Amino acid sequence: MSISSSNRLASQPATQRGQRTRQKLLDAAEAVFGEKGYERASIAEITQRASVAQGTFYVYFPDKKAIFVELVQELSHRLRREIAVAVEGLSDRLEVERVGLRTFFAFAHQHRNLYKIVRQAEFVDEELFRWYYRRLAEGYVRGLSQAIDARQLRRLDPECLAYCLMGIADFLGMRWVLWNDERPPEAVVESMLTFIRHGMDPHPLTQGRETQGGQYD
């Protein structure tokens, strides 16, 4: 899927030195876009923050939008990679959720501008904004589908379930990571996991009982 014509023109350096310079520009862009917003951010500020000559910027990116698109893609890749590594080898779905949540909150705390940058993407490049969440959802759907087939979860629409869980994590992260600059307390994580397991029903359903909207196998 094509995301942006500007992004296709971004240069991929062949040398380690070039890769380091390009990464410095991306790291600087993460800070500047987070602090100033896309419209107010400038290439001059990005290169100054990266301690790179302004002319060097154009060796790697044709314009401001190109580095913004690349930044969103890189943050998406790094987040998905860190979660995948963290949950590798886990077979219990609730434990996958627990570890995945903690990894997401840790990443978001380390990259607090992630929230601001992704929200800006909706107005800078709506296709990129949708891509970011769809890519997160794709892996989530696969994992949930496998857990449903393994009879660890109720048989529900895995895509709907993925977006529900992503929404919960997104807002909890916003509440504690973005607003308070801290990871959600352990009690919050456990409350979310209890909600995932039992919902708000004061009398949780037992496995095997049919329910409206889905059933256990």
What distance in Å separates the CA atoms of residue 19 and residue 21, rounded to the nearest whole number? 5
pLDDT digits (tens, 9 = 90+) for 154-173: 999 999 999 999 999 999 99
* Predicted confidence (pLDDT) per residue in 7-19, tens digit: 545 667 879 999 9
How far from chain centre, in Å, is Cα 44? Answer: 28
Asked if residue 106 lies in contact with residue 100, where contact means CB atoms within 8 angstroms, the answer is no
Residues, the chain, total? 217
Does the residue 211 lie in any domain? Answer: no
For residues 60 and 95, state if they share a domain: no
- 29 in the same domain as 57: yes
What pTM, to 2 d.p., does this model score? 0.87
Q: Which domain holds residue 10?
A: 5-65
Shared-domain flag, residues 108 and 45? no
CA distance 133 to 137: 6
- The alpha carbon dihedral of 85, 69, 122, 156 has a sign of negative
Name the token pair of 77: 């890749």
CATH number for 194: 1.10.357.10
What confidence category does residue 195 fall into, taking pLDDT thresholds of 50, 70 and 90?
Answer: very high
CA distance 110 to 129: 21
